[in-house]
Amino acid sequence: MPILAILIGLLYLSHVEAQPAWVREDLMENCYFNWTVRDRFQRMPMTMGNLIGLIKKVERQPIAYYWDVFTMAANLLRRFQIDGLQFLPLNLGGSIICALHWMLSHSLNDTRRPEEVEGCHDRDGRHKRHAKGRNTTPDYEKSFHPLEYGVVYTDYGTVAAGQVLMGLAVRDRVANVKVADLFRDKSEIVKYLNSEIKMEGWNPIRNNEQRERMQSTVITAYYAATIAGDLAKTAAYDAASANGSQQLIGPSGTWNSLTRMGEHEQVNETSSSRLYPSEYALADEMDRVSHATHAELYGGIDGLLLAVRIKDWNSCSLKLSQILEMYYSDRGVSLNTDRVFGACNRFNLTEAYRAELSSQTHAMAYALYVESFGLLRPPRGSSIISRINESVQKVLQQYWAFVEQSKATSCGTMCRDSKNHPPAPNVDLYVIFDMDGSEQELLEAKEVVVDLVNRLNLAPMGTNRVALNISDNRRNTSTSVFDLGQEFNPGGFAFKLLKTDFRNVSSSFDFGDAMAQVRRRFQEERKFERDQNLGGTNGKVVLFVVPSSKPESSDKGVGTMENMVRDFTNDFPEIPLLFVTKDAGWDRFAKTPTCVAMRVFRNTGERLYRDVIENVPTRMVYPGCGQSISDGKDNIFIGLLVPGTTRYMMYHGSRLNGSENLVFKVKAHDSTSNLTVCWGRYVLDFGRLQPEEDGCGNTSDAKRDKKVMIELKHPCSRNRECDPIYISVRVANDFHPSKEPVCLDAATCHFPDQIQYSVRHSGMKCK
């Protein structure tokens, strides 16, 4: 295969048009012939978080476990993108395979959708569903707002995900090539490049210089496969157009969030596209859609930036999911960099490649034009080279204007201040869901839970459990139907919760029985902590979601239920009980700082996280408490800290009330890390987290073993109530991140730059 065909093929992988079903048997059978999976109302959310979660699932497959970043990106594209498919024995479900396919395969669909036609109730519109390219003549009703597929939602703009992976896939595998070498098998083009033909209106000297420069120009694969390819394709089509176009980039679009409750239920369109982005509708009709939509530009920029910098990192010890998760966070990739390197800063970062981008776009546009249209003179006169130059200059002018506008309106203020260390709670969430209520009430309540889970740090050493319990009338008990287990994918949780039919679930809800089961659950966990001699666990939160029911029980009165809540908060004071409901009757249970009642509104998930969950510290435990003898022996907790965040830990006062000389030692396991450790004591209140600092210290200042020592004499004396002790750990402001990953255990490390630390105590006694 000629080198040009390879490069053009790589470029076109970023501009995939829908293919006939018969040429792609595997994906077609799973994703297009299966109407249950194909149904647009039953798809997984199109988010970067969901894509990362599914990539993690692939990374855990035996065949993929040792793939580096380049191999993983290339194989994902070959397996799931609509061009270049290959068979890989990945044990994934049909919905996961199709979700990866739809998120990585870029195409446009300008078929008018049923909701765009007044009075049309055909939800699926199967007889009208045809994806078309940007340069074809439609023979059907056109949409006013075509759908752009192969794009995913991020907090930093919608991104064509396939192009991000393409930059990484070709970074290590395709050699650079001169433009002249691309056409060695096409004699007429070679003759043209080497000739000194004088054409009317040409300046022979100038054009010969242009030819020589063009012949010697090197096309770099990762430029061609990312942003330079986007801009070059737009310029090539503009040069070949009889009329040209004033708008050569764009448009943007808006997300729709579609939910269908059950196979035969009415379609609901939720108002919050952030929770469950399903379809991306462009702002303009197909005739005004360029070959470089904003999503393609975002993906092209990100693909280029990652391709350029990936060589600076030790890619052998990194996972693709880790790179993407850091890059699309507010702190960026912190390895070997002195500035925020992430999507939040993409438009400032791309400035460094302005000159090279211009050169690459010129060369690629010239190659694309000659390959696609031959040596025909452009319809608007002039020479091929001159016409290409004019189109490229126009495209680049609009592109850099787009960059400057984007700097001013979005990403410039979205990166986290490096001196700001927000809390990073690791919280296990237990949701008890009452299914009594109207469909709209249930949908709003589910969205609260989805919004909350989206904000949690789902990771093996982070939030590693989200359990949802509902009533089941066949067994008259609560059954755990959703447990993320090892999934760590909020998109997967949202898919299960919002797309599952709960019509067979009982509408009755017994609060007394639910509280009894919650108590039994945490009694079992407390026994497990003692048996395993644990030094600490994730914070625990119990969330009752009751859209419309009153607090009722078949055999317990309101007073008894109030006593059950009071007894639970006394026995498990560090576990908050939250009630999200529309009925004011639940307010009677919110009488202590650890019990909170909120009404169901669209921003309730955000409020729950901001006002409660974010303030829940790690539960520091002592197995000796509750035993017949509490001897004060050493106990240790080992945690992981993400640079740029703060970890808060709490020892409840009940674990201190027999202590006399209590000592805590906090240490970073990496000797090069410098941690700031602070401590303080105050009354337990989940609305307040920052300690009234009794003291702070840095591990680098410690004289021995780089430990910060916290000493408390008689912490529960007669003159002071036994308040909890809070300990916070963060990276010191003068600490610079490591150039190499320091956290390499894939089973525990969420990010490669996490810092392991330990908290050891001695002298702790409980009465």
Domain around 316: 3-116+138-176+231-413
The answer to whether 617 and 538 are in contact (CB under 8 A) is: no
Q: What are phi and psi of 707, to 5 degrees?
A: -115, 145
- For the four alpha carbons of 584, 589, 593 and 595, in that order, the dihedral sign comes to negative
What whole-number distance in Å separates Cα of residue 484 and Cα of residue 468?
A: 9
Residue 320: pLDDT over 90:
yes
Section 362-377 average pLDDT: 83
pLDDT band at 702 (very low <50, low <70, confident <90, very high): low
- DSSP, res 668: E
Residue 14: pLDDT over 50:
no
Which tens digits make up the pLDDT trace of 541-597?
Answer: 999 998 888 898 888 999 999 999 999 998 998 899 999 998 899 999 988 878 888
Section 440-455 average pLDDT: 87
Residue 167: pLDDT over 70:
yes
Section 737-765 average pLDDT: 80
Residues 154 and 50 in one domain: yes
In this prediction the pTM is: 0.86
Residues 405 and 495 in one domain: no
Residue 740: pLDDT over 60:
yes
25-39, 90-104, 135-149, 252-266 — which is least confidently predicted?
252-266
Q: What are phi and psi of 627, to 5 degrees?
A: -90, 165
Q: Which class for 204: exposed (0-12), middle (13-18), buried (19 or more C-beta within 10 A)?
A: exposed
Helix (H, G, I), strand (E, B) or coil at 406: helix
Please report, for the domain that includes residue 440, its CATH number.
3.40.50.410
Section 132-159 average pLDDT: 80
Which ranges of 175-293 would DSSP assign to H, the alpha helix?
Answer: 187-194, 204-216, 221-224, 227-240
* Residue bearing the bigger pLDDT, 217 or 255: 255
Residue 183 within any structural domain of the chain: no
Which tens digits make up the pLDDT trace of 463-522?
Answer: 766 666 655 433 444 444 455 555 678 888 888 888 776 656 555 778 998 899 889 989
Q: Give residue 538's identity as a one-letter amino acid code.
A: N
Residue count (the chain): 767
Residue 199 within any structural domain of the chain: no
Please report, for the domain that includes residue 754, its CATH number.
2.60.120.510
Residue 604 within any structural domain of the chain: yes
CA 434 to chain centre: 29
Q: State the chain's mean pLDDT as an integer.
A: 78
Residues 313 and 165 in one domain: yes
Residue 388 within any structural domain of the chain: yes
Residue 205: pLDDT over 60:
no
Residues 487 and 529 in one domain: yes
pLDDT band at 10 (very low <50, low <70, confident <90, very high): very low
Provide the token pair at 340: 């925020």
Say what the pLDDT of residue 260 is: 46
> Sheet of 577-581: strands edge to edge?
477-483, 466-472, 427-433, 539-546, 577-581, 595-599
Say what the pLDDT of residue 31 is: 79
Query: Which of 386, 413, 440 is the last residue in one of the domains?
Result: 413
Residues 166 and 309 in one domain: yes
Three-class SS of 70-130: HHHHHHHHHHHCCCCCCCCCCCCCHHHHHHHHHHHCCEEEEECCHHHCCCCCCCCCHHHCC
The answer to whether 191 and 227 are in contact (CB under 8 A) is: no
Say what the pLDDT of residue 297 is: 97
Residues 408 and 432 in one domain: no
Residues 388 and 292 in one domain: yes
Section 721-725 average pLDDT: 81
Say what the pLDDT of residue 55 is: 94
What whole-number distance in Å separates Cα of residue 517 and Cα of residue 539?
A: 19
Which tens digits make up the pLDDT trace of 587-643?
Answer: 999 888 788 888 887 788 888 998 889 889 999 988 877 654 455 567 889 999 988
Helix (H, G, I), strand (E, B) or coil at 662: strand
What whole-number distance in Å separates Cα of residue 680 and Cα of residue 689?
A: 10
Q: How many domains does the chain have?
A: 3
pLDDT band at 305 (very low <50, low <70, confident <90, very high): very high
pLDDT band at 197 (very low <50, low <70, confident <90, very high): very low
Q: Give the orientation angle of helix 511-531 with respect to helix 558-571, to 10 degrees.
A: 20
Section 61-84 average pLDDT: 82
Residue 212 within any structural domain of the chain: no
Query: Which of 384, 413, 442 is the last residue in one of the domains?
Result: 413
Residue 569 within any structural domain of the chain: yes
Residues 477 and 583 in one domain: yes
176-185, 418-427, 463-472 — which is least confidently predicted?
463-472
Say what the pLDDT of residue 261 is: 38
pLDDT band at 689 (very low <50, low <70, confident <90, very high): low
Section 415-434 average pLDDT: 84
Residues whose CB is less than 8 angstroms from the CB of residue 242 and which lie 6 or more positions away in sequence, other chains included: 379, 380
Residues 635 and 598 in one domain: no
What whole-number distance in Å separates Cα of residue 283 and Cα of residue 639?
A: 47
What whole-number distance in Å separates Cα of residue 227 and Cα of residue 167?
A: 9
What whole-number distance in Å separates Cα of residue 736 and Cα of residue 725?
A: 29
Query: Which of 616, 638, 663 is the last residue in one of the domains?
Result: 616
CA dihedral 635, 640, 645, 650 (to 10 degrees): -20
Residues 678 and 612 in one domain: no
- Quote the radius of gyration of the chain (alpha carbons, Å): 30
Residues 649 and 581 in one domain: no
Other C-beta atoms within 10 Å of 139: how many? 7
Residues 513 and 607 in one domain: yes
Section 716-733 average pLDDT: 79
Q: What are phi and psi of 295, to 5 degrees?
A: -65, -40
Residue 433: pLDDT over 70:
yes
Residue 126 within any structural domain of the chain: no
Percent of the chain with pLDDT over 70: 74
Section 185-192 average pLDDT: 72
Residue 139: pLDDT over 80:
no
Residue 225 within any structural domain of the chain: no
Say what the pLDDT of residue 599 is: 85
Say what the pLDDT of residue 119 is: 40
Say what the pLDDT of residue 213 is: 58
